[in-house]
Amino acid sequence: MTSGRAPVRVVVVGSGIAGLTVALHAADAGCRVTLATKDVLEHANTRYAQGGIAGVMFPDDRADAHLQDTLIAGAGLGDPAAVRVLVEEGPARIRELIALGVAFDRAADGTLVKGLEAAHSYPRILHAGGDATGTAIERALVAALRAADIDVVEHAFLVDLVCDGARAVGVDLLLGETDAAEGRRVRLDADAVVLATGGAGELYAHSTNPDVATADGIAAALRAGAAVADLEFVQFHPTTIAVGTPFLVSEAVRGEGATLIDDVGRRFAFDAHPDGELAPRDVVARAIARRMAEQDGRPVRLDAAPVHPGDPAARAVHLARRFPTIDAAVRERGLDWAREPIPVTPAAHYLMGGIATDLFGRSSLPGLYAVGETARTGVHGANRLASNSLLEGAVFGARAGDVIRTDAVTGTWVGPAVEAGASAAPAADVPVTTPLDPVPVFSRRRLQEVMWQGAGLIRDEDGLSHTEALIAAWRAHTRTPRREKEYEDENLLLVAAHLVAAARARTLSVGAHYRRDTAPTPRSPAPDLVVEGSS
């Protein structure tokens, strides 16, 4: 650092794998880092990641194969340059995690255990604790952060970005809110702001995300004029337990042989794709939705018997050892997957779009970076390949953290090439074509149901236009948020407006954006997916 120059001040918002990695790398580069997180430090989407982390860690695997798998899963809309960065730098980031203490599962001879998941041509998935990979990674990164010279602010809600002209120079946070009292506004000044606030799972009635996933970073970036892209690409995970609160059943279960069956016990996934249960996620999720529609909305079943054929008692031991987190969730719901198939249904899982960035996390707004699910790097295209999300957070989090100091010291800013289809329009500029009268009273639950039905797994112009009009009507009523939940509602409404506008603008079906009105082959009507036992 230049002699006599004050350290570059960096504020990172978010404490998942991407945010923690940015903070650690920026601190190592000599920046003065403050990390703010909405809940406690350990409560981020990363800790819920079961499936694992993909990476070319074995001598008979190839980066080019991982690249091709990623591009194919993304329906050809991924950015090859971004994917190249992901697959070539991924192994170094995984080794960095191992050095920090992440104990990936190993065989008796000490070698890493290989796992296979959908749409991968090679079993390159690493797991920790069977199905607790995210928890193991989060724990190791949090320990490293607490040992570093990094300030942490917990229970800090991002109200907005602070801009000076056309540059991000800090954040406004809401701190100390309780059930009885409003929080206080605090401003943190910064030379660089990094948004690592996760996705938008709370937009949908059924989601695998924790309730903190309210699109806060994307909404703040939109209000500040930063470009976003690909918001229409929402991944719906095929298999969540359809009893009680939705709980994800990792793709790794199907990777080890579990099958999907309908009411009459038939494996139906091969009707949609030659890879059956291991087809890309969007294909499997729609195959489930169609079969559910054909059987009056009843969930399909996941049969775990092929994972460990033979005696159910021995199978129970194997499932509990291999998938301890899922096994506990299954049994908490009164189900015994060692003896009978369990009901499953799709749920909103991951946002492929977000704040448009270059390959170092820079947004179109100078001083603002975005990483992880908040960002649109171009890696995922129209559909994320299984277990690439943790890898993306680690790779692009490190890249952003490594360049922030140099960017701030030199005053240069490259930023992404904003592509056609990217949006930075103020909320009021999102077009509305269908007026509504009367307008139902707004509630978050009503928004989630409207998004689930109109802009969910299967879409069409009628549903999207109705959803757009309803969101616009809700947003037309002036509200002054004071509490965290009220700010979250405004963020969800803003991002929902842009998501639906993007979905209407992309008239052709591709990847996770499936429009039954323009799909090349006829499909069953969009189903009302009912999750048994949920409110």
Which residue in 154, 152, 60, 47 sits closest to 102, CA to CA? Answer: 47
Selected catalytic residue, list 124, 281, 322, 475: 281
What phi and psi values does residue 27 have, to the nearest 5 degrees? -65, -40
Residue 112, CA atoms < 13 Å, CB-side half-sphere: 23
Torsion sign over Cα 343, 345, 347, 350: positive
Which residue has 């010291």 as its token pair? 409
Which residue in 387, 386, 384, 359 sits closest to 371, CA to CA? Answer: 359
Distance separating alpha carbons of residues 320 and 344, to the nearest angstrom: 19
Residue 189's H or E segment, with its range, is: strand 184-189
Residue 324 three-state SS:
helix
Torsion sign over Cα 99, 105, 107, 112: negative
Report which DSSP code applies to 258: -
Residue 269's H or E segment, with its range, is: none
Catalytic-residue membership of 298? no
Q: How many CB atoms lie within 10 A of CB 392?
A: 27
What phi and psi values does residue 493 have, to the nearest 5 degrees? -65, -40
Q: How many residues does the chain have?
A: 535
Q: What is the DSSP string of 106-139?
A: B-TTSPBPPB--TT-SS--EE-STTT-HHHHHHH
Distance separating alpha carbons of residues 50 and 330, to the nearest angstrom: 14
Q: What are the b/e assignments for 352-377, b being 16+ CB within 10 Å?
A: bbbbbbbbbbbbbbbbbbbbbbbbbb
Which residue has 């903190």 as its token pair? 212
Distance separating alpha carbons of residues 139 and 101, to the nearest angstrom: 9
Three-state secondary structure readout of 14-52:
CCCHHHHHHHHHHHHCCCEEEEECCCCCCCCHHHHCCCC
Which residue in 351, 70, 315, 338 sits closest to 232, CA to CA? Answer: 351
Q: Are β-strands 156-163 and 300-303 bridged in parallel, bridged antiparallel, or unpaired? A: unpaired
Q: Are β-strands 234-241 and 259-261 bridged in parallel, bridged antiparallel, or unpaired? A: unpaired
Token pair of 58 as six digits: 């074995």
Cβ–Cβ under 8 Å, residues 388 and 380: yes
- Angstrom CA distances, 294 to 10, 263, 527, stand at 53, 10, 9
Among all residues, which ones are annotated catalytic?
Answer: 281
